[in-house]
Structure formats: structure tokens, C-alpha cells
């Protein structure tokens, strides 16, 4: 996403603001679409039936009335947008869109009144519906991002502030001042950045740090808003006010990125700076020339032929049909693409920044049981006891430990959580055998490349469990294929260096904060690189918003709203194919644009010479659209390899 400018310019089917639109707009679009498509049926009946002039007037009068109704329902925003751009001395694709629509309507009206020539009232109605639908879909995408950001708004969130004497009060997070203390209960999100001043608990920090496992936090430790307390209440002293959190700085970046105009829209506006006046001047010159020689009616019809054949339908289809086809292919790879400009940006990517936890590694850890010598002949027994002890625990690593045994002859009769340390469980078999199982973090046997736990059975040390992250399949193969198509890969993670070193990427950056990730992306962009960021956590959101394009592979709602591509169940082997398909799509788009532009210019010349009737001009316009559509559909046969 680009942050080069904060000014939005309107474009065909684009967006001009992020202001919310009510349900009334969608009702008007639905009514307009219903009327427009039914008027097409009536117009087709009028054109194909042998009817007298009075009957034809009645049949053609229906699309005329529909066109006026749809224009009133949906035409206002386009007309006001064009007026704003004209007042600002800017020409956009909307200008030609409106000019062609008005021209077709006027020509149709003259044909309707005189009884000679074609009418295009139903076509004008469809154009208004397509414009309004595109406008609202673009605005809807912006609103979803802003709504996601609102869920983290400190003005909407509340927290429990502990005052002197232990009295607590509920207040807005935004009103918390530095030095005030906030109580956070198990399962709740930490609302402020600060330091633990009372309590000890595991804190799940993957959303902000990228750390796969919950970390033990005690008095004096630093914690961030957006992370979650797991098993015990903490009292946190705020280090800054409630509106100056790290999470708020991330949201500010996302707010700015959500309101940027698309690069494709800006490029289209730039083309229209010369295309609109060129077509307008050609139509006026055609009208003047033929009006002098053959009368105003012939001049008007030839001018309308120029406008119709110059209508940028082929130019418009050249990009969206190819984009939509590519989006369908990417959807077959499991990717959900947000917008057409995503395909174009993906094609230009030359650098990919990967997050680690949840992105290149799977969410579930792989347990490795290491038995003490005297317990090595009792592996199944130990595995069953561990699985039973963790069966009643909702803990970040409990699921991994339960997987050690598919079925257990034991059941937990009681479980005591030792905050920030582990659990102490009493387990019992069906025949009454009882055992005490204690599973705690290991301080003296800690392996920085894994999460180490000590297992004690009946007070005796029985085993150690190493929880290692599991790489997603084909990571190494994916990185190699990316290199073969000229893309450099880098790992940017908040996790420790030893865990990052297990991944086969040429460049590794570890212990990175959200702001540092953002800085790395900005530095790459300053060096002229087009950056794709692939991540899954809140800590990735700012870097994802700043990058040229981003992919969310997790289920975190904020990153899904920010990302250009959602990839819920990623098969990384498809990433090189997706980039290759995007490059092929952009190449096809450029060739389609060249064809459409040359076709239109040649058509304008022939129409201006008076050799094309408006009906033929409309058919030629349709032909060029069919050509670019057929070429674009060939992408369906491509696998992106």
C-alpha cells in the first residue's frame, strides 16, 4: 500500500471518500439494476419485432423512462464528481464516461423523436448502474478497514484502573495517564503499554512480538497493549497515556494507508488528461465539418459515432477482464484478492519480507519427549500421564502436549495452575491408581531454539519436553523458486535468533518490534524495491500497510482487513506461481491496452470521416471489447508457472 499521497481523486468506479454509505444507496443500485436489465428486454423486443411507428414509440418510451429514473437514482454522484474535477481543472475517466453517456442519450432522444436511427437508452441505464456499483464496492472496502481499526480505538475500549487503597474504577483506555495502574484478568487483553507491578502470569504475545509460545511475565517486566493475559491477574503500571500505545501508532499507519488512492486509478486519470480532450475535440470537429456539408443531423450523428466508437469500453475491459480472470486463478490457489490493483503490484514485486511465527511455521508446536534414564522403558505411561494432566487445561501449549498420547488410561481429578510457571495435576486411572504430575518450564535446561518443559511424576523428574516450531511444507522449495524468478526473500521476526536460524532464508532479522519491521519496509522502498510483506499478527499490520502489497496468512481480523490478499490455508508452493501469473497478466494488460488504444484512434478517424453509422460504431466498439475479453480469458488456461 502506498502512502505517497493523502489526496483522493475520483476515477471511474473509484472512490472519492471513505464516508459511510447507508443501505439506501444499495437499495437504489438494486432498483436501478432491476429496471435497467428489464429495459434491455423491452429494447430487444422493439428492435427485433416488426411493429408500426406508434407501437415502437411506446416500446422505446419504456427504456427512455427507465433511463431518466436510473439517472435520477444513480447519476448524481458521477455528475457531481465530474463537476468537482472540472472545477479543479482535472480530467478523469469519469469525464469521458459521462460525456459518452450523455452523448448516447441525446442521440437516442433525437432518434426517438424523429423516428430515424438507433436508440441506446438501456445502455445508458446500465452504465449508470455499473458506475454506482463500482463506487460503493470501493467505499465498502475502505470502510471494512476503518471498522477493524475501530475495534482497537482507545476511545471505545474500557479498562479497570486501581486507585490508592485498592479501590477500582472503570474508565476509557484513552483516559489512562502515565503512572496509573490497570488490573487485567486472565483471558483479557492488556489495554496499555507498561510494566508489571503485581502478579505473575503467562502472557500470549504472538500478536505483537511474533513469539510462538506464551511468555512468563512477572514484576518489572514490560508488556504491550494488544497482548493477552493467560492464567493469572496482573496489575500493570502504564508507561504512557492510553492513546499513545504502540498499538495506536500501528493504527495510525493503517488509517493513512486505508485512505490512499490506487495506483491504477491515478494512472487512468493521467491517461484521460489527453484522451478526453482528444475525443471531445474530434467529436466537435466532426460535428462542425459534417454540419456545414450535410446539415446538423448528419453532423450530430457522425459526432455521436465518434463518441460511441471512442467510448473506453475496450480500454476499460482491457484491464478488468484480465484482472478478474487472474483473481479467479489466484482464488484457485487459495488466495482471496481484495482489488484489481493487487495483481499489478504483485507482478512488480522484487522483494518479499516474511514473518515467521504462524507464517512460515505452523501454529501448533511439535513436542519431543526426552525421558530420564530410569523412565526410558515407560514411554507410553509417561505420555498418557502428560496428556491426562493437560486435558483440562486451556493453555497455549496444552494442545501440543495432549497430542503425545491419542488415548489415555488416566483422567485428571484436579489441576492447579502455577501462574507463570506451569501446572500441578492429580491424575487417576480407572482402577484407582493415582499419580501427581507437575509440568513446569525448565530454567536450567532451556534450549533457545525450543520451549523446554520439565515433567515430574510423583515428585521425581521423569522427562523433558522440547516444543519446537513446525515449518510449513515446502518452505525451502518456495524460497528457491522465488530466487529463480528474481525475488529476494528476507525474514523479519520478533522471535529469537536461534529460532529464526532454522528457516532457509538468505537474510534473517530477529527480535524486531512492530516499529522496526515498519522501518525495514520503508528502507527497502527507499532503495527502490517493491516489497511484499507476508504476515499474520497485529505486530505485522503496520509493516503490511506500509509495504507495496501484503498477504495475511492468519486469522487475525485486523491483518485480514489491512492485507491486499487473504490466504487462510496457505500452500507456500503457490506463491511463486501467483507472482508469475500476475506478471503474465500485466503483460497481457499492456498488450490489450495498446490494441484498444490503437483500435479506438483508428475508429475515431474513420468515424470522423463519416464512413461509420452510429449503429456500426456501437458494433465495432463491442467487437474490440470481445477481442480483449477473449485474450484475457486465455489466462484461465495458465497455471502461472
Model confidence over 168-223: pLDDT tens digits? Answer: 899 888 889 999 999 999 988 898 999 999 998 888 876 666 565 677 888 998 89
In which residue are the cell numbers 504472538 written? 206
- Alpha helical stretches, state H, 115-200: 121-150
pLDDT of residue 40: 77
pLDDT of residue 314: 56
Nearest to 339 by CA among 252, 260, 255, 254: 260
pLDDT of residue 403: 76
Supply 395's cell numbers: 493453555
Supply 503's cell numbers: 528457516
pLDDT of residue 492: 92
Give dist(CA 176, CA 393) in Å, integer: 33
Give dist(CA 610, CA 111) in Å, integer: 18
Query: How many percent of the chain have pLDDT more than 90?
Result: 20
597-599-603-605 Cα dihedral, nearest 10 degrees: 60
158-244: CATH number? 2.70.150.10
Distance, CA of 178 to chain centre: 35
Give dist(CA 472, CA 575) in Å, integer: 13
Nearest to 534 by CA among 523, 522, 525, 543: 543
Collect all residues with Cβ–Cβ distance below 8 Å to 465 and sequence separation of at least 6.
Answer: 367, 368, 369, 370, 386, 401, 439, 452, 453, 455
Residue pLDDT, tens place only, 420-474: 778 889 999 878 889 999 998 876 434 456 778 899 999 999 999 888 778 888 8
Q: Is there a shared CATH topology between the 339-362+472-570 domain and the 366-468 domain?
A: no
Backbone angle region of 295, left / alpha / beta, with phi > 0 → left and psi within -120 to 50 → alpha: left
Give dist(CA 100, CA 112) in Å, integer: 18
pLDDT of residue 346: 93
Beta pairing partners, 425: 415, 437
Interior/surface letters 22-58, b for 16+ CB within 10 angstroms, e for the rest: eeebeebbeebbebbeebbebbeebeeeeeeeeebee
Q: Which fold has domain 366-468?
A: Calcium-transporting ATPase, cytoplasmic domain N (3.40.1110)
Distance, CA of 474 to chain centre: 24
pLDDT of residue 583: 93
Supply 141's cell numbers: 472496502
Which CATH number is 339-362+472-570's, of 2.40.30.10, 3.40.1390.10, 3.40.50.1000, 3.40.710.10?
3.40.50.1000
Collect all residues with Cβ–Cβ distance below 8 Å to 3 and sequence separation of at least 6.
Answer: 253, 256, 257, 260, 546
Backbone angle region of 467, left / alpha / beta, with phi > 0 → left and psi within -120 to 50 → alpha: beta
Contact 333, 578 (CB under 8 A): yes
Contact 326, 585 (CB under 8 A): yes
Give dist(CA 274, CA 87) in Å, integer: 17
Collect all residues with Cβ–Cβ distance below 8 Å to 233 and sequence separation of at least 6.
Answer: 183, 184, 185, 186, 199, 201
Q: What residues does each domain of the chain span?
A: 1-154, 158-244, 262-333+583-641, 339-362+472-570, 366-468
Distance, CA of 441 to chain centre: 38
Could you give the C-alpha distances from 495 to 132, 472, 499, 556, in angstroms and in order? 47, 17, 7, 18
In which residue are the cell numbers 452510429 written? 614
Backbone angle region of 179, left / alpha / beta, with phi > 0 → left and psi within -120 to 50 → alpha: left
Residues of the chain with pLDDT under 50: 1-21, 141, 262, 264-265, 444-447
- Alpha helical stretches, state H, 259-392: 263-294, 296-310, 313-318, 320-332, 340-347, 379-390
Give dist(CA 368, CA 379) in Å, integer: 12
Give dist(CA 294, CA 289) in Å, integer: 9
Nearest to 577 by CA among 329, 323, 325: 329
pLDDT of residue 108: 80
Amino acid at each position: 500500500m502506498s502512502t505517497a499521497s493523502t489526496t483522493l481523486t475520483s476515477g471511474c468506479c473509484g472512490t472519492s471518500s471513505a464516508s459511510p454509505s447507508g443501505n439506501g444507496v444499495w437499495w437504489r443500485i438494486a432498483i436501478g439494476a432491476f429496471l435497467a436489465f428489464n429495459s434491455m428486454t423491452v429494447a430487444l423486443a422493439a428492435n427485433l419485432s416488426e411493429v408500426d411507428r406508434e407501437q415502437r414509440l411506446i416500446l422505446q418510451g419504456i427504456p427512455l423512462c427507465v433511463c431518466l429514473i436510473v439517472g435520477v437514482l444513480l447519476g448524481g454522484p458521477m455528475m457531481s464528481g465530474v463537476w468537482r474535477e472540472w472545477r479543479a481543472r482535472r480530467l478523469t475517466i469519469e469525464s469521458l464516461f459521462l460525456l459518452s453517456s450523455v452523448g448516447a442519450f441525446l442521440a437516442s432522444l433525437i432518434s426517438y423523436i424523429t423516428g430515424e436511427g438507433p436508440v441506446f437508452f438501456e445502455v445508458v441505464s446500465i452504465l449508470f448502474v455499473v458506475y454506482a456499483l463500482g463506487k460503493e464496492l470501493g467505499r465498502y472496502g475502505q470502510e471494512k478497514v476503518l471498522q477493524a481499526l475501530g475495534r482497537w480505538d482507545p476511545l471505545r475500549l474500557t479498562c479497570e484502573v486501581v486507585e490508592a487503597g485498592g479501590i477500582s474504577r472503570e474508565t476509557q483506555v484513552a483516559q489512562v495517564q502515565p503512572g496509573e495502574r490497570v488490573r487485567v484478568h486472565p483471558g483479557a487483553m492488556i489495554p496499555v503499554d507498561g510494566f508489571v507491578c503485581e502478579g505473575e502470569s503467562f502472557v500470549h504475545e504472538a500478536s505483537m512480538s511474533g513469539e510462538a509460545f506464551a511468555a512468563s511475565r512477572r514484576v518489572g517486566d514490560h508488556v504491550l497493549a494488544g497482548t493477552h493475559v493467560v492464567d493469572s491477574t496482573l496489575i500493570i503500571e502504564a508507561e504512557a497515556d492510553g492513546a499513545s500505545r504502540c498499538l495506536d501508532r500501528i493504527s495510525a499507519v493503517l488509517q493513512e494507508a486505508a485512505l490512499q488512492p490506487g495506483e491504477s486509478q491515478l494512472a487512468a486519470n493521467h491517461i484521460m488528461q489527453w484522451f478526453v480532450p482528444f475525443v471531445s475535440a474530434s467529436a466537435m470537429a466532426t460535428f462542425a465539418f459534417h454540419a456545414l456539408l450535410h446539415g446538423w443531423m448528419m453532423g450530430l450523428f457522425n459526432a455521436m459515432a465518434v463518441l460511441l466508437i471512442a467510448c473506453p469500453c475496450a480500454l476499460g475491459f482491457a484491464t478488468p477482464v484480465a484482472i478478474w480472470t487472474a483473481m479467479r486463478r489466484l482464488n484457485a490457489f487459495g488466495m482471496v484478492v481484495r482489488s484489481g490493483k493487487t495483481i499489478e503490484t504483485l507482478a512488480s514485486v522484487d522483494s518479499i519480507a516474511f514473518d515467521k511465527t504462524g507464517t512460515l511455521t505452523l501454529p501448533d508446536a511439535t513436542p519431543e519427549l526426552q525421558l530420564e534414564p530410569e523412565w526410558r522403558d515407560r514411554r507410553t505411561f509417561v505420555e498418557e500421564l502428560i496428556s491426562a494432566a493437560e486435558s483440562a487445561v486451556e493453555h497455549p501449549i496444552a494442545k501440543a502436549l495432549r497430542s503425545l498420547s491419542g488415548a489415555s488410561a488416566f483422567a485428571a481429578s484436579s489441576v492447579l495452575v502455577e501462574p507463570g510457571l506451569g501446572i500441578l495435576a492429580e491424575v487417576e486411572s480407572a482402577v484407582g491408581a493415582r499419580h501427581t504430575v507437575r509440568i513446569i518450564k525448565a530454567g536450567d535446561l532451556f534450549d533457545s531454539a525450543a520451549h523446554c518443559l520439565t515433567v515430574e511424576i510423583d515428585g521425581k523428574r521423569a522427562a523433558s519436553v522440547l516444543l519446537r516450531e513446525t515449518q510449513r511444507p515446502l518452505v525451502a522449495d518456495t524460497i528457491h523458486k522465488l530466487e529463480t524468478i528474481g525475488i529476494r526473500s528476507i525474514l523479519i521476526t520478533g522471535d529469537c535468533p536461534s529460532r529464526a536460524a532454522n528457516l532457509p532464508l538468505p537474510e534473517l532479522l530477529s527480535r524486531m518490534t512492530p516499529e522496526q519491521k515498519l522501518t525495514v519496509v520503508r528502507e527497502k522502498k527507499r532503495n527502490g524495491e517493491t516489497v511484499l510483506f507476508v504476515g499474520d499478527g497485529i505486530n505485522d499490520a503496520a509493516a503490511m500497510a506500509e509495504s507495496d502489497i501484503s498477504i495475511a496468512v492468519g486469522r487475525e481480523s485486523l491483518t485480514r482487513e489491512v492485507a491486499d490478499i487473504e490466504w487462510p490455508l496457505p500452500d507456500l508452493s503457490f506463491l511463486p506461481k501467483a507472482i508469475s501469473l500476475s506478471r503474465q497478466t500485466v503483460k497481457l494488460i499492456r498488450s490489450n491496452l495498446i490494441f484498444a488504444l490503437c483500435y479506438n484512434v483508428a475508429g475515431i478517424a474513420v468515424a470522423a470521416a463519416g464512413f461509420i453509422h452510429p449503429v456500426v460504431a456501437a458494433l465495432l466498439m463491442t467487437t474490440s471489447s470481445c477481442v480483449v475479453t477473449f485474450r484475457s480469458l486465455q489466462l484461465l488456461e495458465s497455471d502461472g508457472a
